[in-house]
Structure 1
Amino acid sequence: MMHLLPLMLERMGIIFIVAFLLSRLKSFQRIINNDQRISGKMLLIAVFGIFGIMSNYTGIEINPNSAAEHTWLLEVEPDSAIANTRILGIGIGALLGGPFVGLGIGLIAGLHRFTLGGFTAEACAISAVLAGLAAGYIGVQYRKKSRITPLFAVSVGVVMEIIQMGIILLVTKPFEMALDLIKVIGIPMIVINGFGTLLFMFIIQSIFREEERARAVQTNKAFHIADQTLPFFRQGLNPDSCKEVAQILLRLTDADAVAITDQKQVLTHVGAASDHHLPLKGLATGLTKKVLEEGTIITARKKEEIFCFNENCPLQAAVVLPLKVHDKTAGTLKLYFKHPNQMNEVEQELAEGLANLFSTQLELAKAELQSKLLKDAEIKALQAQVHPHFLFNAINTISALCRTDAEKARKLLLELSVFFRSNLQGSRQTVITLEKELEHVKAYLSLEQARFPNKYTITLRMEEGLEKVTLPPFTLQPLVENAIRHAFSHVKSKGHVLIHAYTKDEKMYVLVEDDGKGMTKDETESLGKQAVKSKEGTGTALVNIRERLEGIYNMKAGIHIHSEEGIGTKVLVTIPLDKKGVYENHVKGFYSR
């Protein structure tokens, strides 16, 4: 009995050499990682069915008195049987593919064993089919809870082999002959099939690990590229941003050339064939037009399929992917190769993943642009909200002064023109200097103080060197207006408003402080965070100021309000000095589209 172990181990080695060689092939790896489609299941049946046939051919013929060591077993004597590893292939294939695959493999291996003959041919054929069905069902149930491990596969293989021995005893006649056979082959076949299943599972696990490792590397590479390209795609599809993206892709992928288009023209082309694949000259290839029309990924493995009309073009293969924004094709990403074999499956999957990431980036850029445009509209609406009473009162005040103090009326008229000019300039600019913002504030205060000369006093302090620091327009004027309109209403004593601009810890602080009637804690907490219902206003201006500051300076600027009833209110605006110029560049990126 024990002399069969080295013989079976030797025969099993042939199968494992074939299995190992197959494991290096991408096609075999795809079969192992099958997607449970019919085509994948049929391939599994074919591959492991062949393993079953090989096991039959490489088996050891067991005669009544000896074991025949044929190199290749083509026929079995009527009173002989076979010791082989057929159950090994059936069990593993069934565990991977399920009952349908197990049945298919069992039928192939079992029918082939039946054709070889021998007194156990019928029992072996039946056991092959039943083992396939049983292992497939067990595999499906186990995968619902956990992944199939080598130890679990070994236990299934051993059980299937024991079942085969039982079927041989039940079906084969005469029973005494079958029993003698089991005494000879039982333990060797159980041991070898269990050991073989373990080795086979290690091969399959290495395929899984290799696939996972490749996907991890590919995912990491895709995210690295996406991280590098994000600042440029945030600017939308324009020649400058796309050129930077294409150069990054050319550096980090195996492509020989990279191009990006919008719906009408090539925005950039870097790498090989740059002499005739010229940007801003329309769509150079028919392949691009086809992707734009169909919105699907198209690959070309021949020069003719690229539809480039230049005879000397070195590009022989390409993958063209649609860049979609809200399910509409906004452009294409094209990776070109000089040799078709460079465009392997890994490069295609990487390109497809990048196209999806880039499409998401473009959608986010568009959403960000829409948000900014909406915010700009809110700013313009705020700027257009010149209080009618303020305008009428200013005109009435100037009109009255024309009779009593013509010179003062002239100065106020000039201040009114400064006020409205600042309104118009603010509607056209995203940021202005602190100096310009204070000019607007001073013009407003001059007009208000002409009406109420003894109601309040204004103190302005500005640290030297802050004149040219930029901030969003209409940041301070609404704060000063709030102080005058709300802080001193129903207050008989003369009020005081302080405007103080200073620096600390690389930030500019602008404080607007009044000693008016103040607010309750509940009223203060809601200001600047949401609009509120009030007879004196809604607080929309404060919300707008806060959102603009946070959006422009990436949450590093803001507005803080502190108030105490009967004492007054402090509103502090903070702006990071080291971010000067960031917003201008950001806006330039958007509008370069």
Structure 2
Amino acid sequence: MFSLFILLLQRLGIILVLAFLLVNVSFFRKLIAQKSLKAGIALIAIFTIFTIISNLTGVEITRNNSLVQAPFLTGLPQSDSIANTRTLVITVAGIIGGPLVGSVVGFLGGLHRVIQGNFSDYFYIVSSTLVGLVSGLLAKKLKHNTSYPSPGMSAALGLLAESLQMVFIGIFSGLALVKLIIIPMILLNSIGVSVFISILNAYLSNEQQLKAVQTHDVLNLTNRTLPYFRQGLNINSAQQACRIIRQYTNFDAVGITDRVNVLAHVGAGEDHHLAGQAVLTDLSKHVIASGTARFAYHQAEIGCPHAGCPLASAIVLPLIVNDKTIGALKMYFTKAERLTSVEENLAQGLASIFSSQLALGMAEEQSKLASDAEIKSLQAQINPHFFFNAINTVSALMRTNVDQARTALLQLSTFFRSSLQGVTETQIPLKQEKEHVNSYMSLEQTRFPDKYTVIYAIDAAPEVQVPPFCLQVLVENSVRHAFPNRRKGNIIKITVKQHPTALNIIVADNGIGIKKELLARLGQETITSSTGTGTALANLNRRLIGLYGNESHLQIKSSAAGTTIKIVIPNL
């Protein structure tokens, strides 16, 4: 029994080394995060290969319980048996992939064992399938958020799985074989499952911590680059931004271009990637022309014509404002192997944020040049208090839920991008305005979970044209004023209905209502009060009348049961 224990320990080492290598492959980590059929098939293929390796590296046990060592057991007599780590792999497949993946891997692993044994011991097909199914079902109940079961629970699952296998072996192969293999196989396979899952959990935990640190750095970085990108895309702003980006990241060089020339290049290669000169690399030219991101994993893919250029790998992303590529953000390494999925995700997020910052700068410039005072009043709707509250929420979430922090940051970007687009448009599609409301409410729900319920009742085409902010201003008005002391049960209903002659928009809430002395003045003038000024509603009312005439003015009804605001947009 001790000899079998040592031999199985060696086989376990092979599986755990393969497990360590597997967990370090980004493709595998992406698979376990997905819940698609394609990902499930890929996991089945990976773990089936592992089970076959376990069968091939097993220890042969003859009819008289002698141990036979061989590098690979491609086949064995029907009278002989194998001690191996197959159950370990099937159990892990169930824990990671769920009951479906576990049972299919178990079936295929058991089928290979039958073929390996010259089509004997068919019970392995049933027992292995059952092991995968049970492991998957139990692990599904024990899994917590993104973490898999603890080492102790994983070991318990391994023990249960191997015990189930021993029951079948005892029934169909006899108790003598069970007595020989039960202790080493249960012990080692339980430890193996625990170690395998511990490796995975440790890597995922480290990855989450890295994301938290990265998100914190991104917030600081974007805060410092904002003043420069708001100046627009020029040599001075690009130089300052590149220095800040390089300071907060581990890239060896950072560059920014417009559509023709290099505006800034800081770091390796700055002796020939000079500001004011034409873009050199083929990679950057392609990104600017196509408006799509490109990744270079070898020096040749960058396409720099300068002999001796030290840049070995690159991420080049378009800077897009109002659906037009105005330049490119370039990030380089001097060693190709340093470019990983972490850097790719970081760069893509930064490009999106910088594009929004540039859009903000362009919107501000347009505001300065525009003679239409209404555009300025629209721009004032970007509430600085809302912005700082959202940033504080993201900062708090980084300590508790990194994925939710990233989602909130993307929603904040969407909100401000929609706000900036609305500055220069008099009408936008209804679906765009709805997305603007959704991003706003998503951020509010992040700050105050379960406080608000938004109900849509839309009977109109998604492309129907409406004034920008017409829904968002009314919804924000309800959020800020309708529910001062209620944490739950706060309902905002948005109704949009297309009639033959007009589009009716109604936003209703079940809040405390509006005081009678304010009701007649609301939407007509600025009101001084402790909760607000009514400027947003007044601006919206003036825009509606200016666009569609007096019949489109805000119609406000309010009582102790709530407030209803109606807009009528005539068909033009």
Query: TM-score normalized by structure 2?
Result: 0.58
Describe the SS at the equivalent of 2:122.
Answer: helix
**Cα distance change, pair 379–293 in 1 and its aligned pair in 2 (3 A):** closer
Describe the SS at the equivalent of 1:320.
Answer: strand
The letter of the residue matching 1:70 is Q
Hey, what does 2:480 align to over in structure 1? none
CA contact (8 A) 2:147 2:201 kept: no
d(CA) in 1 for partners of 2:143, 2:339: 35
Hey, what does 2:166 align to over in structure 1? 165
d(CA) in 1 for partners of 2:9, 2:44: 24
Say whether residues 1:293 and 2:298 are aligned partners.
Answer: no
**Cα distance change, pair 531–187 in 1 and its aligned pair in 2 (3 A):** same
Alignment: residue pair count: 390
Hey, what does 2:563 align to over in structure 1? none
The letter of the residue matching 2:59 is I
Describe the SS at the equivalent of 2:275.
Answer: coil
Residue 123 of structure 1: how far off its partner (Å): 1.6
CA contact (8 A) 2:367 2:375 kept: no
Describe the SS at the equivalent of 2:256.
Answer: strand
**Cα distance change, pair 179–231 in 1 and its aligned pair in 2 (3 A):** same
CA contact (8 A) 1:84 1:189 kept: yes
Say whether residues 1:324 and 2:351 are aligned partners.
Answer: no
Query: Which of 1 and 2 has greater Rg?
Result: 1
Hey, what does 1:156 align to over in structure 2? 157
Hey, what does 1:35 align to over in structure 2? 34
Residue 106 of structure 1: how far off its partner (Å): 2.3
CA contact (8 A) 1:61 1:73 kept: no
Deviations 1:393-417 (A, max 9, x none): xxxxxxxxxxxxxxxxxxxxxxxxx
Hey, what does 1:70 align to over in structure 2? 69
d(CA) in 1 for partners of 2:18, 2:244: 42
Describe the SS at the equivalent of 2:94.
Answer: helix
CA contact (8 A) 2:15 2:54 kept: yes
d(CA) in 1 for partners of 2:248, 2:123: 59
Aligned with 1:239 (options 235, 238, 247): 235
Say whether residues 1:356 and 2:352 are aligned partners.
Answer: yes
Describe the SS at the equivalent of 1:121.
Answer: coil
Hey, what does 2:391 align to over in structure 1? none
Hey, what does 2:526 align to over in structure 1? 531
d(CA) in 1 for partners of 2:333, 2:200: 33
d(CA) in 2 for partners of 1:156, 1:167: 17
CA contact (8 A) 1:88 1:193 kept: yes
Hey, what does 1:462 align to over in structure 2? none
Residue 297 of structure 1: how far off its partner (Å): 0.7
d(CA) in 2 for partners of 1:47, 1:258: 38
d(CA) in 2 for partners of 1:277, 1:64: 74
Hey, what does 1:81 align to over in structure 2? 81
Say whether residues 1:267 and 2:263 are aligned partners.
Answer: yes
What are the equivalent positions in structure 2 for 1:341-490 lying under 5 Å apart?
A: 341-369=337-365, 377=373
Deviations 1:405-439 (A, max 9, x none): xxxxxxxxxxxxxxxxxxxxxxxxxxxxxxxxxxx
Aligned with 1:195 (options 188, 191, 195): 191
**Cα distance change, pair 182–296 in 1 and its aligned pair in 2 (3 A):** same
Hey, what does 2:202 align to over in structure 1? 206
**Cα distance change, pair 264–377 in 1 and its aligned pair in 2 (3 A):** farther
d(CA) in 2 for partners of 1:61, 1:364: 70
Residue 359 of structure 1: how far off its partner (Å): 2.0
Aligned with 2:253 (options 248, 254, 257): 257
Instruction: Report the RMSD for the aligned CA atoms in angstroms.
Output: 4.0
- Residue segments in structure 2 that go unaligned for 5+ positions in a row: 378-516, 540-572
**Cα distance change, pair 275–131 in 1 and its aligned pair in 2 (3 A):** same
Deviations 1:189-242 (A, max 9, x none): 333322221122111112212322332333333333223212212222222111
d(CA) in 1 for partners of 2:534, 2:349: 46
Residue 87 of structure 1: how far off its partner (Å): 0.8
The letter of the residue matching 1:531 is T
Say whether residues 1:340 and 2:340 are aligned partners.
Answer: no
Residue 298 of structure 1: how far off its partner (Å): 0.9
Hey, what does 1:123 align to over in structure 2? 123
CA contact (8 A) 2:222 2:353 kept: yes
The letter of the residue matching 1:84 is N
- Residue segments in structure 1 that go unaligned for 5+ positions in a row: 382-521, 545-593
Query: TM-score normalized by structure 1?
Result: 0.56
d(CA) in 2 for partners of 1:379, 1:45: 57
d(CA) in 2 for partners of 1:224, 1:166: 59
Say whether residues 1:306 and 2:302 are aligned partners.
Answer: yes
**Cα distance change, pair 199–361 in 1 and its aligned pair in 2 (3 A):** same
The letter of the residue matching 1:85 is T
**Cα distance change, pair 287–78 in 1 and its aligned pair in 2 (3 A):** closer
d(CA) in 1 for partners of 2:20, 2:184: 23
d(CA) in 2 for partners of 1:373, 1:366: 11
Hey, what does 1:49 align to over in structure 2? 48
d(CA) in 2 for partners of 1:379, 1:319: 37
CA contact (8 A) 1:29 1:207 kept: no
Describe the SS at the equivalent of 1:236.
Answer: coil
Describe the SS at the equivalent of 1:78.
Answer: coil
Deviations 1:527-567 (A, max 9, x none): 9x95369xxxx999xx99xxxxxxxxxxxxxxxxxxxxxxx
